[in-house]
Amino acid sequence: MAESHVDLGFIEKTEPSKLTCQQFPSKVGGKPAWLSLSPLPSPNQLQCSKCSAECIFLLQVYAPVEEDENAFHRTVFVFLCKNPDCHQPNSQDPFVVVRSQLPRDNDFYSSEPPTPMTPAPTKGDKLCVVCGISGPKCCAKCHSRSYCSKEHQTIDWKTGHKKNCSESCEDMTTDSSQILFPEYELQIEEEELEKEEEKSEAEKKDELRSFLDSDKANSLLPDCSPGDLEKMSNQSTDKVFLKFRKRLEHAPDQVLRYERGGNPLLVSGENKPDDIPKCTCGAERQYEFQVMPQLLSHLGVDRMEASIDWGTLCVYTCSKNCYHGNQYQQEFLWRQDYSNQV
Ligand SMILES: [Zn+2]
Ligand SMILES: [Zn+2]
Ligand SMILES: [Zn+2]
Ligand SMILES: [Zn+2]
């Protein structure tokens, strides 16, 4: 991905075979398609810092950095806690981000580009059969199924393993649909903007007025009356919000914006990201991508977890792209919600 422009991510239903680790996918939901296959982040590293539950895989972005031979392959993974109580406005507590990088010659994959026939790598840590993160625990009776946690072992036991334990059950799949998010490919395309001429203030005002009168304003912000919008447009905070909405009009289905080293498109002028912690290597972190609120409608959370919600999730990664061999490096997610006035 080039760095001078924004790339957008769109959701696409696709064959599960295109989303395996050896295809180096960008994807949403299902189980993570790990890049380095050992050592994986421990279940502890992927715990919610609020309630200590195992976080669930949300998405991953495959984003190699051309000029860095240790980032020939590079993927950033985002996990979140599904406990609605952990999701407070502007709080990053229920999110975990990790980054993995590999050189072209590495312990897991061929140095040649993958084909649809590329076989799955044979090396790697055991995975939790329920959620797909590292599974250091196993069923004490049959020793053939691995789990990240007691909770997920219990789920597997109740949803079928109780019946099948002691039979040969390595290949049995668990019904993880209650746990995992629906799985999609994340297709990355360049953002295209029509060239906007400099507009006069009067033209801008007219435009805003007709936008506010249109159905579009309603569909972009259904729980907001046109009066609210009018009020908003007079406040500086909400100019940021209107800019956000305006930019999205070019491609309303985008679920991700990618611009490593660029700037996120904020949803509000309040609570700006000015306190991003440095990487453990000592380097500053820089903005890499943001997850848009449009993704929520594809996750089935409206139905299940009423309060999982966000304005935008901005992921910041090490500007030096520090390399730790096959180890995963923790990165930082900063969450911004719509301002209270909305
Ligand atoms: Zn939690
Ligand atoms: Zn698990
Ligand atoms: Zn068993
Ligand atoms: Zn670093």
Which ligand neighbours the alpha carbon of 319 most closely? 4
Residues 107 and 326: beta-carbon distance below 8 Å: yes
Question: For residue 39, is the peptide bond before it cis, meaning its omega torsion is within 30 degrees of 0?
Answer: yes
Using the mean position of ligand 4's atoms as its centre, give its distance from the Cα of residue 329 in Å. Answer: 8
What pLDDT shows up at residue 341?
46
User: What are the structural domain ranges in the chain?
Assistant: 7-191+252-336, 201-248
| Long-range contacts, stretch 280-283, CB < 8 angstroms, 24+ apart | 280/329, 280/330, 281/318, 281/320, 281/322, 283/318, 283/319, 283/320, 283/322
Backbone φ and ψ for 28, nearest 5 degrees, come out as -125, 140
Kindly report, residue by residue over 267-320, the tens digit of the pLDDT: 988 888 888 999 999 999 999 999 999 999 999 876 555 568 899 999 999 999
- Which candidate, 285, 333, 244, 265, places its Cα nearest to that of 59? 333
Is it the case that residue 27 has pLDDT exceeding 50?
yes
The band of 2, judged by pLDDT with boundaries at 50, 70 and 90, is very low
Kindly report, residue by residue over 162-188, the tens digit of the pLDDT: 988 876 655 566 778 789 999 999 999
Using the mean position of ligand 4's atoms as its centre, give its distance from the Cα of residue 318 in Å. Answer: 4
Using the mean position of ligand 2's atoms as its centre, give its distance from the Cα of residue 45 in Å. Answer: 13
Residues 254 and 9: beta-carbon distance below 8 Å: yes
What pLDDT shows up at residue 239?
86
Using the mean position of ligand 2's atoms as its centre, give its distance from the Cα of residue 249 in Å. Answer: 38
Is it the case that residue 149 has pLDDT exceeding 50?
yes
Confidence (pTM):
0.86
Using the mean position of ligand 4's atoms as its centre, give its distance from the Cα of residue 336 in Å. Answer: 24
What pLDDT shows up at residue 335?
93
Q: What is the mean pLDDT of the chain?
A: 87
159/129 Cα distance (integer angstroms): 12
Using the mean position of ligand 4's atoms as its centre, give its distance from the Cα of residue 26 in Å. Answer: 22
What pLDDT shows up at residue 211?
67
- Which candidate, 45, 111, 171, places its Cα nearest to that of 32? 45
293/223 Cα distance (integer angstroms): 15
Which ligand neighbours the alpha carbon of 144 most closely? 3
The amino acid at residue 118 is T
Which ligand neighbours the alpha carbon of 93 most closely? 1
Judged by average pLDDT, the poorest of 2-6, 146-150, 232-236, 328-332 is: 232-236
50/94 Cα distance (integer angstroms): 6
Using the mean position of ligand 2's atoms as its centre, give its distance from the Cα of residue 332 in Å. Answer: 22
In the block, which residue shows the tokens 């005002």?
205
